[in-house]
Amino acid sequence: MQSGKTVTYGLILRETETKETDKILTVLTPDMGKISLVARGARRKNSPLAASCQLLAYSELTLYRRGAWLYLSEASTVELFGGLRGDIERLALASYFAELTESVTGEDQPAGEVLPLLLNALYALGVLGKDPALVKPVFELRLMALSGFEPLAECCGVCGRSEPESPMLDVVQGTVHCAACRRGGGLSVPLTEGGLTALRRALYADPKRLYAFTLEPPALRTLDHASESFVTAQLERSFRTLDYYKSIRAEH
Ligand SMILES: [Zn+2]
């Protein structure tokens, strides 16, 4: 803090256009968690803030407070994930990641491992060119786990068998179980053995190696269905950006 200014790093999760040339930004920062700030003149041609105020830009931000609001005074981009911006499918998925992250993070709570997780996912999509169909469920599951919604996946939640037979995920109760151990009251979707292995990987693997594996398309589809159903059931909401991503996938 120097002369009333704060310097932090931040990733733009959402941009809202306001009157005239300003933007209101929702930003994920390491120390302050999720914040809202006003970027005055950011929509003006040749604004020095323009690049840093785009959705999914990661920048060093200089902020000051006036009244109830934080304002952006200077910004220096660190990573724009340029590879995302020329590919509508990857950009759509990354936008969903931003909306999902916004929904599970709070204000005045340090972002912890969530910010690095999201940055790594954007890097995997935009720089490393990883398969979006793989990055999506792995990111969803790991984000849910970091946000207090970790499913119990080490064994069958009913009989305790370490390798459940014909494994399923109960997306309401958040437990893996054998198909025969299904109980009422939840909502179970199939996982397959390959899908269960991948789900465990998504939950427990070293963050730097999260996306360093492949999965056969049928198992990947099953994992994706289980993961998406889990997100929707646990958070009890839908995501406009997810619907858009799926509409683009359907066109290809
Ligand atoms: Zn069982």
Task: Give the integer Cα–Cα distance in Å for 63 and 9.
Answer: 10
252: pLDDT strictly greater than 80: no
CA 130 / ligand 1 centre spacing (Å)? 34
- Kindly report the backbone phi and psi dihedral angles of residue 207, in degrees, each rounded to the nearest multiple of 5, phi listed first: -55, -30
pLDDT for the residue 108: 80
Q: How far is the CA of 188 from the centre of ligand 1 (A)?
A: 13
Domain 85-251 -> CATH class: mainly alpha
Instruction: Give the CATH H-level superfamily of domain 5-79.
Output: Nucleic acid-binding proteins (2.40.50.140)
Tell how strand 33-39 and strand 69-79 pair up.
parallel
Residue 194 has pLDDT above 80, yes or no: yes
Give the C-alpha distances (Å, rounded to integers) separating 164 from 141, 170, 192.
19, 13, 10
Distances (CA, A) of 27 to 39, 89, 108, 166, 238: 11, 23, 12, 42, 21
Number of H helices, E strands in the chain: 7, 8
Residue 149 CA to ligand 1 center (angstroms) comes to 21
Q: Give the pLDDT confidence score for residue 100 in this predicted structure.
A: 98
Q: What mean pLDDT comes out for the span 219-237? A: 97
Span from the CA of 243 to the centroid of ligand 1 (angstroms) = 34
Beta-bridge mates of residue 70? 37, 65
| pLDDT tens-digit series, residues 37-50 | 999 999 988 999 99
CA–centroid distance, 173 to ligand 1, in Å, is 15
Average pLDDT for 158-184? 95
* Mean pLDDT, all residues of the chain: 94
Quote the ligand 1 centre to 144 CA distance (angstroms).
24
- Give mean pLDDT, residues 221-242: 97
| pLDDT at residue 249 greater than cutoff 70 | yes
CA of 183 to the centre of ligand 1 (A): 10
User: pLDDT band at 3, cuts 50/70/90?
Assistant: low
Q: How far apart are CA 26 and CA 12, in angstroms?
A: 6
Residue 60 pLDDT level (bands cut at 50, 70, 90): very high
In the chain, which residues fall in CATH 2.40.50.140?
A: 5-79
Q: What is the mean pLDDT of residues 74-99?
A: 95
Q: How far is the CA of 148 from the centre of ligand 1 (A)?
A: 24
Average pLDDT over residues 199-222: 95
Calculate how far, in angstroms, residue 220's C-alpha sits from the geometric centre of ligand 1: 23
- Residue 197 DSSP SS3: helix
Domain with CATH 1.20.1440.120 in the chain: 85-251
Ligand 1 centroid to residue 191 C-alpha, Å: 14
> How far is ligand 1, taken at its centre, from the CA of residue 185, in Å?
16
pLDDT at 1 over 70: no
Q: Check pLDDT > 60 for residue 2.
A: no
Cα(162) to ligand 1 centroid in Å equals: 9
Q: What is the pLDDT of residue 113?
A: 95
